[in-house]
Amino acid sequence: MGKLQILSRSREAFRDRGEAGRLLGNELKTLAGKHAVVVGIPRGGMVVALALAQAVDADMDLILSRKLGAPGNEELAIGAIGEHGNLYMDEDLVERLGVDAAYLEKVKQRQLEEIARRQELYRRVLPKLPLKGRVVCLTDDGIATGATFQAALWAIRQEQPKKLLAAIPVGPEDTVERLAKDADQMLCLKSPPYFDAVGRFYRDFDQVDDDELLNILRIEQIRRKRP
């Protein structure tokens, strides 16, 4: 696989996140036997991560990156923050929207508090795996602006992995190309010419709550105890 591989321009929807993870696993069979770690972004990305990790017999972990939403439109990412505090900002968008420093500081602190809450909740079930020197594959259920995914890539890179791959089911081509610059390899199953929202590419895109995520972490806890 080259540095960036986009397999399809199809708009056909995945059945669910589990199917998307298994399809990624089919394309990443070379990870088997390489002591790899599949890292997912909560919450939806963890369903993809577990299916992918099971498909290639890799370990699984999570990373806590949070999107920084725009004033009056929290779904519009103007940046993201990773669990180590590393910050990614879309400077052009921040300037275009006239976002001031006070707002940025407020939203940053709110997301840091949410990261701390999730660390306390999730790490009690599944301790963090050291990523230094390992082959790491970051995944999510899809990307739109890519701000959260960007922050996650940066956070993982700080841990000095042997190799950093990115694998996503679906995303817009310009975002995929930009994110590929921060990964050693990037795989995208689908990048349709017209991209509106990640959820449009899943027949089942129900929200993943903390209870479901904790169950996923318990499954991985059992997998880690395998002989």
CATH of the domain at 102: 3.30.1310
Can you give the pLDDT at residue 1?
A: 45
Can you give the pLDDT at residue 80?
A: 86
Residue 127 burial (10 A CB sphere; 0-12, 13-18, 19+): exposed
What CATH number is given to the structural domain containing 194? Answer: 3.40.50.2020
Can you give the pLDDT at residue 36?
A: 97
Six-digit token string for 79: 């940046």
Identify the domain containing residue 44 by its residue range: 4-64+127-224
Ranges of the chain with pLDDT below 50? 1
- Same-domain check for residues 209 and 103: no
Whole-number Å distance between alpha carbons of 93 and 60: 34
- Same-domain check for residues 117 and 184: no
For helices 147-157 and 173-180, the axis angle rounded to 10 degrees is 10
Six-digit token string for 85: 């505090």
Can you give the pLDDT at residue 89?
A: 87
Count how many domains the chain has.
Answer: 2
